[in-house]
Structures are given as structure tokens and as C-alpha cells.
Amino acid sequence: MAGRESGSSNRKIRQYRKPLNINLGIIIFSVIFVYVVICVFLYFTQKHIMGYEVKNGSLSIGNVYQGIALREETIVTSNDSGYINYYAREGERVGFGKLVCSIDESGQLKEMFDAGKADDTQLSDNNLTDIKSEITGYMSGFEKKQFSGVYDFKYSLEGTALKLANINVLQDLQSLNGSGSSLISLCSAPVSGIVVYSTDGYETLTADQITQDMFDKEDYSKRQLINNELVASGDTLYKLATDENWSIVIQSDPERAQELLEEEYVQVRFLKNQCTSWAKVNVLNNEDGNTYVKLDFNNSMISFCTDRYIDIELVTKDEQGLKVPNSAIAEKEFFLVPKEYVTKGNSSENGVLKETYTENGEAST
């Protein structure tokens, strides 16, 4: 027994070696991780090439201006006091003697609207189209710096809707006047023209009176004439643009003004609606010492009768081509060699001889 125990105690104990198990998932994850690290490193170290879609278009640049519109405008004032109600839409041409608005001294018409008697008015498809066009035109020309124009647009849109609703009230005017219980004065157009329901103090402005300060829109204010507003005798009711001949005055330097004057007529693109028209060029040297260009038109006035500031583009050289961004232009230094320096030398190809100097100051060609 003792011998057996001695023999068993002399046996060697060896460590068990685990078999090598290759985890394929860890290998794939490691390869992907290394690939991502390399891609991130290359992204931050290499110069990026930005893609740009080159389109064919007009190559004219530097011809966009903001101008002041000048028109023949007549301000119509009230002879009575009361609540004003408009029946002609803004931008509509009215003839001599046509009804434009009414002055309600008793306020019965205003009470009718406040009571909701005009709420059942149904707008036609043409009326809805006009309102949609007005909204679309304002959205295209909206500027955050001129946020105050939102209130002008609000009053203009409310006025347009109320004017459309007022048309259905016209049939009640005769009965109201005939009852003897109200006094309603009908105001007709004194001359033929286009109706505008706003004033800005520039109605009598002429081209030779324009100064550089007038082009600053921050100091510009326009008063919107609101429907159902209480007016006094002598207050402004509306104004009429009475002549289709109108002008736009822009700022310019003397050299550019002279170039336009030599062309005599120039094509103008209105950025508001992208329409084009031809204008006669006149150069003004006003008392403030600045040079202005006066562009005279004989059409399109009705489309801009409510705008005092109009953005335009002078299409002087309407060349078409591929419009490449300035960032794609490469700047490199190069030498201009006169033509008489070109020679064939020892070969049949044209070239030039370059003179260099060694460290010892010896010239070699």
C-alpha cells in the first residue's frame, strides 16, 4: 500500500491547454473598426472637393439696382366726415365719374358689417385668384429687415377682402339713402386713373428733387388707407395714378451713367415679376452732387402702381453661358513673353531661350 501511494504521488501535473477558438465576429468587427478609423482620418486630413451644378444662364453681373418710382398721382380728399367704405379694388382702373368709395356719416354701413350681414359674401374664382396673387407677390419680395411691411400687407389684404364684400352692399345704398334715416355720400373718381389705397408723401416728388437719403428704406413710411376707417373732412380717401408714362430713378456713377446714356434705350427686367420692358435713358446731376439715371417707361405702370421702391436689372449685354462659382476660379502666376522672343532654336518646335547664371556669375542660355 505504501508503494502504491508513493508512486501515485510522483505523477506530474500538467496544465490543460484550451483549444484555439477563432471568433469570426470579432475579426469582422475589428476590420470594420480599422476601416472607419482610416476613413475618419482621411476625411479630416484631405482637401475636400465640393460638387457644384453648373447651369446655363445670363452672364450679366453688376446691373441690379433699386430705384424710386415716379408717377403722375392725384390725391383725392374727403368733403364729409364719417366711415369710409371702398368699392373699387386697389390696382383697378376707374373711369371718370365711377364710384370708388362712400362716406357713411351715420355709421349704418359699419353696423351692417359689425352685425355680420356681409359674412355671406361668396368670392368668385377671379377674386380668389387676385388674393392668391397678392399673397404670392408679397412672399416673393419679403425681407426680414423690412418686417414693418407685414402690417402694410395685412391692411392691404384685409382691405381687398372687405372691398370685395362691399360690392354686395351697393344694392342697399339706395334704400338707406331713401329712408331718410342715414346720410351716405357717394365719392366718384374726379379723373380717370388707377386706384391706390396708400400714401407716402412722394406723390409730388420730381426726378430733380431726389437725393441719396431717399434710397434708404429704413426712413421710408407708407400710410395704408383702411376700409371702414373714420375720416374727417379734408382727409385723404385714396389716390389715382393718372398717366401710363412713368419713371424709375436709380443711383449710378458718372462713368456708368454715360455708358447708359450713349445707348439711349435700355432693356429693363423687373425682379418682382421677371417681366421686361424698354426704357429711355436720361442722366441727372442733382443738387446733392450725385449722379442719377432716369428710366422713362410708357407701359407696365399698373403692375407697380403700389410700389415706390422697385428692384430692376439692366439687361445691357444679355450673354448666355455656363455660370461657374467664384470658388472654382484658380489663381496662378505666369509670365507673358513677347511674340518676338519666340524662336525655334535647335529644334523644330517654337520656344524661348532662358538666360540663367551660375554660382560664379557666368551666364548660360
- Tell me the pLDDT band of 292, cut-offs 50, 70 and 90: very high
Q: Is the pLDDT of residue 247 over 90?
A: yes
Q: Which three cell numbers stand for residue 287?
A: 443738387
% of the chain surpassing 70 pLDDT: 75
| Cα angle value 57/58/64 (rounded, 5°) | 135
Q: Is the model more confident about 330 or about 206?
A: 206
CA distance 215 to 311: 12
Residue 297: name the closest of 247, 239, 356, 238 by CA.
247
Q: Is the pLDDT of residue 244 over 50?
A: yes
Q: Which three cell numbers stand for residue 271?
A: 425682379
CA distance 28 to 149: 62
* pLDDT score of 123: 61
Max mean pLDDT range (96-105, 247-256, 354-363): 247-256
Q: Which residues pair with 281 in a beta bridge?
A: 295
- Tell me the pLDDT band of 222, cut-offs 50, 70 and 90: confident
Q: Is the model more confident about 234 or about 108?
A: 234
CA distance 146 to 164: 28
Average the pLDDT over 255-270 and give the result: 89
Q: Is the pLDDT of residue 208 over 80?
A: yes
Q: Is the pLDDT of residue 359 over 90?
A: no
Chain centre to alpha carbon of residue 197: 23
Q: Is the model more confident about 198 or about 140?
A: 198
